[in-house]
């Protein structure tokens, strides 16, 4: 029995002999130990397929940089919005403050966390649900629906009205100390409940805790402005917009976007999520009174169809993906043909699961949000290559943007956000009227970009 359950000397000898018998293993070993897996697996033929040239392209401003933070979903959302300002006022470039929604998101997520703690007071502390709630209560990530909630409640401001701070550029310490505070506060709420404190008094405690959260965030990020002056000059240096605005007034005037018209489409081909139906994720959100998230699950071809339709109307498209897969980061290329890891190792590593199996077995989920700003089409109008606005600065990839192949889209793009007018009548009716299936809090479609 030990020979079947333990690694034996004979097992090691067999592995050594089989490895040494093939010359290709020695070549692969030398290449990988000197250069790393991705560099050794890089396929020049696949890289060549990412040559630039797009049939539809949205011209953005200068590239933004989220630095050492997980705010990609905010950057992607703001990049779709700043484009409208650039276009409306004929600006050379423009940037909305990313520190401003960060403040409100942390505050709202803290309140959301406390409400979930109050709702689970009788759940066991070591049970899966409470353990999940305590794991990462105010992480930097988020979903489009959550950003929409922030904008509707708080508006937006130009970057100079609330500039970056040390804690917005690198959120690690702020997140760490706020998380520690929230866990300690959750302990106090649960212990008070056990001691017989009523819900009204617990909510009074929560209000005091939220005041302390506000203080912590204000120390780290500064206080958000209630109003601010604006002077925007166009490409010809003429004043295009001048005045004093509140954040909601500025959003209404400068961005002028019906955020409620923009909805999330996902593509998750797992057995528990049939295409053509709507879904939500239990306990996922930030602004408590605006509820949570809502998705319509469709095949990848439908996500591409609506994304192309929106690009043709000269509007960029927010999307979420598993960015690290088949990715040449320095070259800014996401392409399943650009790397051949399986040939390098001599057996299936990347090719041992399909998209649904990767979701089911925890190998893949949405990790990053960016913006589609262009696409190249073949003679029949089908997409071949997509141009992507990232948020890793102008020195990343190709002057700050990436490309992704259409095959990569099929495998690793999980979400797009588009105006619902691009949906078919049946798709729109389903999204608006069907009661969504509630997914578990830990479902992969609940991952935050």
Kindly list the catalytic residues: 72, 368, 390
Helix 99-119 vs helix 128-135: crossing angle, to nearest 10: 160
Torsion of CA 57, 63, 68, 70, to 10 degrees: -30
Taking the alpha carbons at both ends of the chain, their separation in whole angstroms is 46
Half-sphere exposure of 253 (CA within 13 A, CB side): 15
In this structure, are strands 239-245 and 262-266 parallel, antiparallel, or unpaired?
unpaired
Task: Record the tokens describing residue 126, joined without a space.
Answer: 């070591």
CA distance 75 to 369: 8
Task: Record the tokens describing residue 56, joined without a space.
Answer: 């539809």
Question: Using an 8 Å Cβ cutoff, are 51 and 407 in contact?
Answer: no
What is the dihedral sign for C-alpha 287, 321, 170, 228? negative
In 125-267, where does DSSP find H-type helix? 128-135, 144-154, 166-169, 172-194, 199-221, 247-250
| Distance from the Cα of residue 384 to its chain's centroid | 23
| 419 DSSP β-pair partners | 262
Task: Record the tokens describing residue 367, joined without a space.
Answer: 């990790």
DSSP state of 299: -
CA distance 116 to 392: 33
Burial class (CB in 10 A: 0-12, 13-18, 19+), 16: exposed
Question: Using an 8 Å Cβ cutoff, are 427 and 296 in contact?
Answer: yes
CA distance 160 to 170: 19
């Amino acid at each position: 029995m030990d020979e079947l359950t333990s690694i034996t000397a004979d097992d090691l000898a067999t592995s050594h002999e089989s490895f040494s018998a093939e010359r290709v293993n020695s070549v692969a070993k030398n290449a990988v130990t000197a250069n790393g897996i991705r560099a050794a697996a890089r396929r020049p033929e696949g890289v060549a397929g990412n040559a630039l040239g797009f049939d539809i392209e949205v011209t953005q401003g200068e590239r933004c940089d989220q630095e050492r933070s997980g705010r990609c979903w905010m950057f992607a959302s703001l990049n779709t919005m700043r484009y409208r300002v650039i276009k409306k006022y004929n600006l050379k470039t423009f940037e909305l403050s990313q520190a401003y929604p960060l403040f409100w998101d942390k505050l709202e997520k803290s309140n959301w966390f406390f409400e979930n703690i109050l709702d689970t007071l009788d759940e066991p502390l070591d049970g899966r649900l409470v353990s999940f709630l305590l794991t990462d209560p105010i992480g930097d990530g988020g979903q489009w629906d959550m950003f929409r909630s922030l904008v509707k409640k708080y508006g937006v401001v130009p970057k100079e009205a609330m500039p970056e701070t040390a804690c917005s550029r690198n959120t690690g310490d702020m997140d760490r100390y706020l998380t520690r505070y929230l866990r300690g506060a959750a302990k106090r709420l649960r212990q008070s409940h056990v001691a017989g404190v009523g819900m009204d008094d617990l909510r009074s405690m929560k209000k005091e805790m939220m005041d302390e959260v506000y203080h912590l965030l204000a120390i780290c990020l500064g206080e958000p402005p209630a109003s601010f002056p604006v002077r925007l000059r166009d490409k010809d240096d003429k004043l295009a917009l001048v005045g004093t605005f509140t954040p909601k007034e500025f959003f209404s005037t400068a961005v002028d976007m019906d955020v409620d018209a923009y909805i999330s489409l996902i593509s998750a081909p797992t057995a528990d999520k049939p295409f053509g139906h709507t879904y939500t994720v239990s306990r996922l959100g930030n602004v408590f009174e605006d509820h949570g998230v809502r998705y319509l699950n469709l095949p990848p071809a439908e996500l591409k169809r609506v994304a192309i339709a929106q690009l043709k109307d000269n509007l960029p498209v927010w999307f979420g993906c598993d960015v690290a897969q088949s990715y040449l980061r320095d070259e800014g290329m996401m392409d399943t043909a650009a790397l051949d890891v399986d040939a390098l190792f001599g057996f299936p590593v990347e090719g041992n699961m399909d998209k649904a199996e990767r979701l089911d077995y925890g190998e893949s989920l949405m990790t990053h949000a960016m913006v589609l700003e262009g696409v190249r089409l073949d003679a029949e109008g089908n997409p071949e290559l997509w141009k992507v606005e990232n948020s890793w600065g102008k020195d990343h990839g190709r002057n700050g943007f990436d490309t992704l192949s259409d095959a990569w889209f099929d495998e690793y793009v999980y979400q797009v956000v588009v105006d619902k007018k691009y949906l078919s009548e049946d798709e729109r009716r389903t999204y608006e009227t069907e009661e969504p299936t509630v997914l578990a809090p830990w479902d992969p479609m609940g991952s935050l970009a």
